[in-house]
Amino acid sequence: MMDTEALRTFVAIERAGGFSGAAEALGRSQPAISRRIALLEAELGAPLFERLPGGVVLSQAGRVLMPYAERVLAATQDAAEAMRALRAGDSGPVAIAAVGTLAGGGLTAALKRFAADFPRAKVSLRTATSAQVSDLVRRGEVTLGLRYFDDPSPDLACRALAPEALVVVCAPEHRLAGGRTASLRDLKAEAWLGFPPPAEGGEISAGALPALFRVRGVAEIALTAVDSLTAQKRLAEAGFGIALLPVNSVAEERARGSLAVIAVGDLEAANPVSLVTRRSGYVSPAAWALIARLASAS
């Protein structure tokens, strides 16, 4: 019968792209890694990897095994978390993955309230794209995920949170700074700053701006792809373009006057935000308390 360490080794090799990287990640020797995989392959009667000059890739059998291996390891992690929570009461770790642009505003306020109510809980936060957030939750590496839009995966449960309101921002010197225009179409000739499209590995919400123009009959705009929210804000401040950004993310810049808003009469834009957990995963009492705080912020 397959043991969890063999599956852990198998998953580590795939994530590291090779046996040597997995050996380093797991703190074991490469011969030990190779032996464990050879025994697993012998047990299954099929090779799990194809050896290439630059590393290894999953074989057909490996691709079939991978989602089951990840579920087993996630369940093992759940068991460990449940035992820790049982011993620790209202303490213990709560791991969160969030899209970078969501790591502020309501999340910050909820975390502050949670820290005051659960001072012994240890919260860790990492940022990722929406797709990566779902993968981290699915693999059991984090308990909670905050991403844009729901994930249709049957392994995940999604809860709608307050949508992220968007506003058009520009440099204070822009001719429309602090003013109003009737329609987004009026801004079709502007130089726009935005995230790379999802097809190029960008965030799923990056398609919102072009879609908003298309429904208004504008097929194409001058859009410079910038993969950093901070960089978009700095470029907009310097007058290199205007951007459609989360209202919470530009509060500081608006307060100090380095960014201004252009009110658009026919624009009420927002990104749907979803809280993601693993459908069969263990959620500690402390994590449930944080979920309640995030929901109440909605």
The per-residue pLDDT for range 146-187, each reduced to its tens digit, is 999 999 999 899 999 989 999 999 999 999 999 999 999 999
Query: DSSP E strands: which ranges in the chain?
Result: 49-52, 55-58, 92-98, 121-127, 144-148, 156-170, 180-181, 191-194, 222-225, 242-246, 260-264, 270-278
Q: Which CATH class is domain 72-162+273-296?
A: alpha beta
Every domain of the chain and the residues it spans: 4-71, 72-162+273-296, 164-269
For residue 152, the model assigns a pLDDT of 93
In tens, the pLDDT along 134-146 reads 999 998 889 999 9
Domains 72-162+273-296 and 164-269 equal at CATH topology level? yes
Q: Which CATH class is domain 4-71?
A: mainly alpha
In tens, the pLDDT along 250-278 reads 999 999 999 999 999 999 999 999 999 99
Residue among 156, 144, 163 at smallest CA distance from 106: 163
Chain-centroid distance, C-alpha 75: 21
The answer to whether the pTM exceeds 0.85 is: no
For residue 82, the model assigns a pLDDT of 66
User: What CATH number belongs to 164-269?
Assistant: 3.40.190.10
